[in-house]
A and B are shown apart, each in its own frame.
Chain A
Amino acid sequence: MKAAREARGAVDIRRRALAGATAAALAFLCALVASLCIGSSPLPPGQVLRALAARLLPGLLGQGMLADPMAVVIVWDLRLARSLLAGVAGAALGSAGAVMQGLFRNPLADPYALGVSSGASLGAVAAIALGLGSPLVAVGATELLAFAGALGSALLVYTIARSSRRQSQTASLLLAGAAVGSFLGALVSLIVTIDSRDLQRVFFWLLGGFGGKSWSDLGAALPFAALSIGLSALLARPLDLLGAGEEAASSLGLEIERTRKLAVAASSLGVAAAVSAGGIIGFVGLLGPHLARLLVGPGHRRLIPASALTGAALLMVADAIARSVASPLELPVGIVTALVGAPLFLRLLARRLPGDAPRQAAP
């Protein structure tokens, strides 16, 4: 029976998506544990798990299972906060990337498509150049101004696109993002040229990294990243509809403008949280959604959470490599994500999926 076979096909697709979602979650957990193992004094996974349990579930472990006190200190006081921060930033970048790709209907869009990275850079570089102190105890001035710069530039891009008279405001958004991005990027270069005292710090910030980050940084980034991912999840069905094009989505009852506004808000909040936590980290927001699409398919209800998981896994692993590969020297994590991410991405591109080809007009 052909019908029965096709119905099975639909069930298969659903089952495969479920398996993919499980794989994404496992990848996240494995990446977290691996990032805790890797470091200047490597720990075996069993030791890491026992050390985690020692503070999470004290009293649960039997006498023979006690964790090495040194491992507990390394895991909890040195590595965990940093790994989780990388994970949170990666999750925010991954889901923001999925939202941008959905909004622009383009798999090439990344979370920085709205010029947000330049806005964040401008904020951070200004803070470094001016030697600003922070009004907040928990967060440094660099992080604070990077966050403000990211949100400010997104708002600017949105306002410019909103006032454009072009037919597609979504296209205007992309164009305004490119223009504002290079304008702010030039301002960054200008500041760095005039005031080159802290070039090393600026350089490291622009390439991204989580060196010296602690629990308070995690506490600052987590609420915004969580809010961003939550808003993105609300956008799942609207983004599915947008995949058919704006006119079709509108005829199906979708308020395009509201969707666009929420997508810009959700993604720029997440990117702002990520850049203020770890600087400008490329490629995670592009690669995360692509990996997730391989695992769970193109439907945004699964894609957005899966992109958050793959983005988190990628960035945790990249950060572990960045701090250990040339130890005691620490590489900027942006270098690792690009060096590892770009070849991986190219491999994904070479692997054509069934149905991945653009729809051809019938002859």
Chain B
Amino acid sequence: MSGRILRLAATGLSCGYPGRLVLSGIELDLAEGEVLALIGPNGSGKTTLFRTLSGELRPLAGEALVATQSGSALVGAQGLSRAARARVIARVLQAESPSWPSTVREYVEAGTFASTGWFGSPGLAEARAVVEAMKATGIAELEGRRVTELSGGEFRLVLIARALAQKPAVLLLDEPAAELDIARQMEVLGLLRELSGRGVAVALSVHDLNLAAMVADRVALLARGSLIAVGRPREVITAESVAAAYGASVVVGDHPAGDLPHIVHIPDWLDRNPPRGRGRG
């Protein structure tokens, strides 16, 4: 892959918490205009990796590097101030519980904090970023609603909108498709492809391997404390790798729309204990 402009890189990265090593020996990078999907079983370290890559968590060993400008040299994410980090990297957390019944607009406006700082208040550019972010995520009409009143899926879109209001060069999303209905899942994944088309470096963690295969340029599979495989979806998502990482038995076929892997579960209980009315296939 030539001409990739790197935005994030992990070299020899070990991450985790005091007294608890979660991942080690991670070699991974993320370029502008690329969508990377992190897959792996529960507890395999996807969120911990995001925390470390974004500089929130100190690496236990190795380095988590970020380029603050397009094409600039990679520097340690930990060395940057929080505001400098937030101007480059935006995160969508897996879960968040708002303490106060703020409006959706107020909540999305928080995304402009890194560009205005403590004393500034959002100006015209920030207001435009907020409106654009709400439009892009399809929540413009929720503007005046209270965040505490929203459904889980609507709130997820608010979190994505807030991250977009940061105008990030790197977008890290923890389970952005969770809690969304199937139509909105496709809208959000489409939005991620669109952002990558505009040069944003996107990484997302996702449990649904079919969604990962559909949206990602590259897939990284985490399991048992390390990065097992990284590459094109076709190369990484195979019956063997899924069995090895998850201990689940699947068949990997083709997506009807083209050259994408499509997995179908074949659990052993389906024969033993089939739903009523199911004929034997």
Contacts and interface: CB of A to CB of B under 8 A. Distances in A.
B269 interface: no
B97 A10 contact: no
Contacts of B147: 355, 359
B132 interface: no
Contacts of A247: 51, 56, 93
Interface stretch (B61-69, B98-106, B217-225, B270-278): B98-106
Nearest to B17: A167
A46 B29 CA distance: 75
B151 A252 contact: no
Nearest to A7: B143
Interface in B68-127: 81-83, 85-87, 89-91, 93, 96-103, 105-107, 110-111, 113-114, 116, 118-119, 121
Contacts of A10: 103, 105, 143-144
Contacts of B114: 252-253
B232 interface: no
**B-side interface size class:** 35 or more
A299 B104 CA distance: 12
Contacts of B87: 253
A6 B143 contact: yes
B141 A2 contact: yes
B139 to A, nearest CB: 10
A244 to B, nearest CB: 6
Contact of B98 (A3, A251, A299, A359): A359
Nearest to A106: B99
Contacts of B140: 3, 6
B101 A362 contact: no
B179 A3 contact: no
A37 B146 CA distance: 41
A113 to B, nearest CB: 15
B51 to A, nearest CB: 8
Nearest to A256: B82
Contacts of B14: none
Interface in B50-64: 51, 54, 56
A146 B77 CA distance: 45
B128 to A, nearest CB: 16
* A297, A298, A356 — most chain B CB neighbours (10 Å): A298
B182 to A, nearest CB: 15
Given A240-B106, A353-B101, A6 B142 contact: yes
A6 B141 contact: yes
B152 interface: yes
**A-side interface size class:** 35 or more
A244 B110 contact: yes
B156 to A, nearest CB: 9
A248 to B, nearest CB: 5
B265 interface: no
Contacts of B110: 240-241, 244, 252
B90 A358 contact: no
B106 A252 contact: no
B235 interface: no
Interface string A108-139: 00000000000000000000000000000000
A354 interface: yes
A83 to B, nearest CB: 32
B277 to A, nearest CB: 26
B255 interface: no
A208 interface: no
Given A2-B141, A238-B118, A362-B152, A251 B91 contact: yes
A129 to B, nearest CB: 42
Contacts of B116: 237
B83 A299 contact: no
Contacts of B113: 237, 241, 252-254
A142 B119 CA distance: 37
A9 B97 contact: no
Interface in A223-249: 234, 237-238, 240-245, 247-248
B48 to A, nearest CB: 12
A9 B102 contact: no
B97 A358 contact: yes
Closest CB pairs A-B (n = 3) = A362-B152, A355-B146, A253-B86
23 contacts: A6-B140, A10-B103, A10-B144, A234-B118, A237-B121, A238-B118, A240-B102, A242-B99, A244-B107, A251-B86, A251-B90, A252-B166, A254-B82, A255-B82, A293-B100, A297-B102, A297-B103, A298-B101, A353-B101, A354-B101, A355-B145, A356-B101, A362-B153
Given A237-B116, A293-B100, A357-B149, 9 more contacts: A2-B141, A240-B110, A245-B93, A252-B166, A253-B82, A353-B101, A354-B101, A355-B146, A356-B148
